[in-house]
Amino acid sequence: MTSKPVGELSRRERLWRFRELAGLALGAYGLDGAQLTLIQYNENVIYRVDLPDGVEMAGKNEHRSSSRVLMRLHAWDKEDYINGEMLWLEALSREASLPVPEPIRTLDGNYTFKAVSDRMPNGRWVTLLSWLDGRQLSKGFKPQHLRSLGEVMAKMHNFSAVWKPPEEFSRPIWDWDAQLGGSHFDVEREILVDSMPKRFQEAFLIVSTQSEKAMERLGTRIDAYGLIHTDLYPENILFKAGKASLIDFEDCGYGHWMWDIAVPLGTWAWDQGWEAMRDVFFEGYDPIHSLPSDQWKLLDLFIATQHATMLLWASAFLQHDPKRADEYILWRDDSGNKLLKFFER
């Protein structure tokens, strides 16, 4: 009897199959008997792995735990793409000494393991990362948190500007085509825009046009562009004793420094106290990785660009996997409403 494709399964059925893959992957790392706890299922499936008694991971420091690690089952079926993320993380951790997860290799010395089962013959690529201690903050950010975030991001950008990746390094380019041009989708951009609620469509098109012109002006010169995280929402930032650590580098790639900055700051943009939060982040960032003033003047536009990008991507995900419509509609409408604030300032 042929198993149903994952897209036709309920959430519970999907998670049952993913759990089987995760259990198989433990053996590739010599961790049979470790305890798996589901943390997140969006596109990727993420587990906390509590190590068996007597087993510890080397490399514990002030940021990392020695008794647990993080396992990710990747949605992307691209080994070179995943290896690129692992290469950069290893460099950020070992060469730049930044507080980021460090890849843990399989017993065979690889960054990745392909877990396959009878019910999921195509399987999923699996990676294991060190566990960073700290907590996420959805609210209650204080100046020390934003200043520390600015410092860590600036150090990451500084390192990116001088790091020479190995020849096999592969990461995406997050230019206008990838963010707002629809180049990553198998549905035409015009169809996705038409599928958005009417109240969002004009705002999307205006910001899209302005953003394209701004990115063309900035180009790819080193003072404006390099290897960036791209996805530093509050849930991807951990704090311990007021110090920031960065997680979830899956979407890292080449883009503008201002895009990377706009993602976390966009969480609070244009609300009460926005200017003070922006300025304290700048105090942490600018002494380490100073950017020309004309780029900082584009911050509001890059924040709007980020919201427009999420609006487009949520619309595409809704077309791709309608069984998860409730999740994607919430994402789409939240992004669209934040985009509208750009025009209400």
Q: pLDDT, tens digit, for every residue of 199-252?
A: 999 999 999 999 999 999 999 999 999 999 999 999 999 999 999 999 999 999
Rounded-to-integer distance, Cα 52 and Cα 80, Å: 31
- Exposed, middle or buried: residue 114 (CB in 10 Å: 0-12, 13-18, 19+)? middle
Let me know: does 251 contact 345? Beta carbons within 8 Å.
no
pLDDT, position 219: 97
Domain that includes residue 45, residue range: 6-132
pLDDT, position 206: 98
Give the residue from 82, 103, 132 where a domain finishes. 132
For residues 162 and 292, state if they share a domain: yes
Residue 225, domain CATH: 3.90.1200.10
Strand partners, 255: 226
Give the residue from 132, 166, 195 where a domain finishes. 132
Rounded-to-integer distance, Cα 212 and Cα 305, Å: 9
For residues 183 and 128, state if they share a domain: no
Let me know: does 142 contact 215? Beta carbons within 8 Å.
no
Rounded-to-integer distance, Cα 29 and Cα 21, Å: 13
User: What is the average pLDDT value for the chain, to the nearest integer?
Assistant: 93
Rounded-to-integer distance, Cα 345 and Cα 343, Å: 6
Single pTM value for the model: 0.90
For residues 112 and 201, state if they share a domain: no
Q: What is the amino acid identity at position 341?
A: K
Let me know: does 179 contact 262? Beta carbons within 8 Å.
no
Q: What angle do CA 105, 40, 115 make, to 5 degrees?
A: 40
Q: Is the pLDDT of residue 53 over 90?
A: no
Structural domain total, the chain: 2
